[in-house]
Each structure stands twice: as structure tokens, then as C-alpha cells.
Amino acid sequence: MISTTIIQDLIIYFARFVPVRVRKEMLKQPQNARFAGYEEVKADILNVSEVQALPDFDSFVVSVNNKLVSDRVKNSRNFMLFIEYGDIKVLTANGVTRNEVGLSVSVACELNEANNDMLNEAMKMQRGLELMQLILMDMQEESKNCGVLEFATSPVQVMPLDPSLFFGHGGWAASFIRKQTVI
């Protein structure tokens, strides 16, 4: 059985790294076009503590819609947090069911050749790597403290984002499997 809130749980979890003002900006669906349960999940997203929020982020995207991702990336001026999900597996062994979801967590910023020299780019890439490290450390700590959920299972691969493939933005993408025991 696949967890019925698997994608919502991802959004709520990663919202902790983004300031509330950015979360509010991403939740603009008109009242008459909202899917059932929208208000409840929106409240959960907005109520996530800002203790771990990283002020560098001015955009937060969790989507498989290339147009939406493109628009958000192009409008981001500082750093953005982009979560991509897919490849959901359901595994059952010894009466225990586990969901596994392939995830990619990206931290990116604009790398414009017109206003960016080598040193500035290197400094942006370094800051992006620092932000990624903070997120990965939190995910690993969460995995240690929670018996039914594992984030950032080994191996975690962190690779640079190619600006030519990511709408002029560069940074880092970490890919891994998220495992959750379904009770």
C-alpha cells in the first residue's frame, strides 16, 4: 500500500528549510479551483516551524510540471530549493510494508554570464553547497530520530547542476531514496 500522503508529506517536510513568506507565495491557488483538502495541507505547510528556515531561499518548488518549474526558476533571484520526486516502490517483507521514493533535492541560484565572473560564481556555488550540507545534515538527523522514516539513505550523491539544462541556474542536486515504513 502506498502512503496516501506521500507527496504532501514531502512538501511539509522540506517547507522547514524555507521562510514562511516564501511558503505563502507558493500557495496562491484561487479558492474556487482548490483540490479537496487544500486548506488543511496549506495550514500544515504554513505552520511548520521556521527554526530551520534558511533565509537565502526566495523560492520553493515541489513539482513535476516543467512549465511551473521553469517559471519559478526564472523568477528566483537568490537561492531556490527544488524537490523532485518519482520512482515510487512498495516493498513488503515479513509482514512489513515500506514505501521507497526516489528524490532529488536541488539548491540553485542564477549564474548569469553577463553579471557573473569566475570568483562570484565560485562563491555562489560554495554557498549553495553549504545550504545543501545543512539540509542533508538535518535529513540524516531526522532519520536517526524517527523509526518509521528514513531520509537521505546512503548513498547520497551530490552533483553540480548544469545551468544550460536548468534555466540559467546552477548549484547542486542530491539524489537519494526516502524510505518509509507504512503502519
Sequential DSSP letters for 68-87: HHHHHHHH-SSEEEEEEEEE
Query: Does 120 reside within a domain?
Result: yes
Whether 8 is covered by a domain: the verdict is no
Count of structural domains, the chain: 1
pLDDT band at 59 (very low <50, low <70, confident <90, very high): very high
pLDDT in tens, 35-56: 888 999 999 999 999 999 999 9
Residue-wise pLDDT for 110-130, tens only, equals 887 766 788 989 999 999 999
- The answer to whether position 60 is within a domain reads yes
Q: Is 86 inside any structural domain?
A: yes
**pLDDT reported for residue 146:** 57
Task: Specify if 116 maps to a domain.
Answer: yes
pTM of the full structure:
0.86
Contact status, residue 101 vs residue 87, Cβ threshold 8 Å: yes
Q: Assess if residue 114 is contained within a domain.
A: yes
Dig out the grid coordinates for 177 from the structure: 531514496
- pLDDT value at residue 3: 61
22 in a structural domain: no
